[in-house]
Structure 1
Amino acid sequence: MTVAALRLPDPRPDWALFLDVDGCLVDIAPTPDAVVVEPGLPALLDRLAVRFGGALALVSGRPLAELEQLFHPARPAAAGQHGLEWRGRPPLPRPEGFEALDAPLQAFAEAHPGVLLERKSHGFALHYRAAPAAGAGALALARRLAATTAPELRVMPGKMVVELRMAGADKGTAIRAFMEAPPFRGRVPVFAGDDVTDEDGFAMVNAMGGHSIRVGPDIGSGHGAPPASAARWTVPDAPGFRRWLAGLVVMDEPAGEGAGGPGT
């Protein structure tokens, strides 16, 4: 599909861009460390930041250190671990019982070949893309373990992954925090994501009068039918989304709302 055929809003210079990483800026890979950043993408992020007056931020489930490594030498504004991690802010205290979750999660991964345990400073993720049959067990284990911490961790199923993370922050609250300060304040928020964990961001930008863009055909987690997305616009895949992003660098002045209205 060509860029011209995408059902996306007409770009405006007063946007603030918020971008998910996996499934949007990079294609989904078998494991988190196997993703490939296309040549020229870091430079594109820098050019987009200039185009929108610095109002561009990555909003990702990945830790900040990984984001900086992936997109070096670009260093855009970013919120890591679904808004739990910010540059220049002291780390949040972890819940009581957090460290005790490592052993049973690792034991599950070892008992199910193909399952990968990802450790983060404020959460865990069980990836089962290489072992789809383990998904139900991973979700059940995560729910059981979440109830053992104080305060209780949040369980977030995603695309072939189950995450355990601290409550109190999500991609929506991260976007709101960015929008309360310059250079984002007063702009129109635009958030692109591809997964269930991005729904908080979609809902937030919708409430702020912005544009929510779902990348990919659905946001199913592999645990039953995919929920209806709050995103108002769609693009079929990550490569198409990146081509659209590249076009924003040379966009014309706004001519009004996109023809045809939001996608479903």
Structure 2
Amino acid sequence: MSAAPTTQRQRPPSPADDWALFLDVDGCLLDFSDTPDGVVVPPGLPARLDALAQRLDGALALVSGRTLAGLDRLFAPLHLPAAGLHGLERRHDGVQIASPAAPVALADIREQASRFAERHPGAVIEDKGAAIALHWRMAPQAATELSTFAAQALDRLPGYRLQYGHQVVELRPASADKGDAIAAFLDEAPFRGRLPVFAGDDLTDEHGFEVVNARGGVSVLVGAREPSVARWQLDGVSAVREWLGLQHEEAKR
């Protein structure tokens, strides 16, 4: 994965009816929280996302590090096409591709990580089934030790990789990424033949930006992280919602 040097990016163009729109969730549609379960979905956001999806004839998908089940809980009753676990699982048109089965060693590693977190108040171990995420947002002093633990655990997990993100590292299967998921959607109706647009904030989104760029689409970096291959930029979550017309009526005043 390549990354471009810091550049001056412009605000992306306004939404058009011929877009195939792909959206990251945490740090893009939703503000970060201290814990994965603490994020807040603003009232009315699922309904506004649904309206946008209808405008695009269904060509809107969530592309997230969260599981599909977790996305459905967040945005209930909305049930959008989605890719979870950074592309390891995917759902579209009634067909769901499940993530790989977790290896036996992962259960022991998860238990060890949980014991480690108990010694570092604020550290959070997120169980994602086939993957484990080690968060240090509330325990920055544990960042180096958690990263070292994950790197050492990787030796016991053939076919896995480390995935770094915003104050988190994950142990996850290496079989797919967000770019793979977006490419798969673009081969299917109603996404096929449309202009691909992807907005995301984290390092995991770079694979998606590369796919969108290769197809002449619109890659949108949310926030100020550098370097990035994204060609457009928005300041943060509020700017994303304003760009897409998803903000609450009170927020417009």
TM exceeds 0.5? yes
- The alpha carbon displacement at 1:70 in A equals 0.6
Gaps of at least 5 residues in structure 1 are: 1-5, 219-226, 249-264
The counterpart of 1:177, out of the listed 184, 199, 213, is 184
Pair 1:40-2:44 in alignment: yes
TM-score, normalised to structure 1, is 0.85
The counterpart of 1:198, out of the listed 186, 196, 205, is 205
Alignment check: 8 A CA contact 2:14 2:244 kept: no
The counterpart of 2:65, out of the listed 61, 65, 79, is 61
User: How many residues are aligned here?
Assistant: 234
The counterpart of 1:157, out of the listed 149, 164, 167, is 164
Gaps of at least 5 residues in structure 2 are: 1-9, 248-253
Aligned to 2:5: none
- The alpha carbon displacement at 1:86 in A equals 2.4
TM-score, normalised to structure 2, is 0.88
RMSD, matched Cα: 1.6
Aligned to 2:30: 26
Percent identity (aligned): 51
Amino acid at match of 1:104: Q
Aligned to 1:251: none
Alignment check: 8 A CA contact 1:16 1:55 kept: yes
Aligned to 2:18: 14
Q: Deviations over 1:165-209 (max 9, x none)?
A: 110111000000101110101111100000111111111111111
2:21 alignment partner, SS class: strand
2: CA distance between counterparts of 1:116 and 1:104? 13
- The alpha carbon displacement at 1:62 in A equals 0.3
Amino acid at match of 2:49: L
1:168 alignment partner, SS class: coil
2: CA distance between counterparts of 1:179 and 1:169? 16
Q: Which segments of structure 1 move beyond 4 Å, counting only runs of 4 or more?
A: none
The counterpart of 2:56, out of the listed 52, 57, 73, is 52
2: CA distance between counterparts of 1:183 and 1:232? 25
- The alpha carbon displacement at 1:133 in A equals 1.2
1: CA distance between counterparts of 2:246 and 2:153? 45
Pair 1:212-2:216 in alignment: no
- The alpha carbon displacement at 1:55 in A equals 0.3
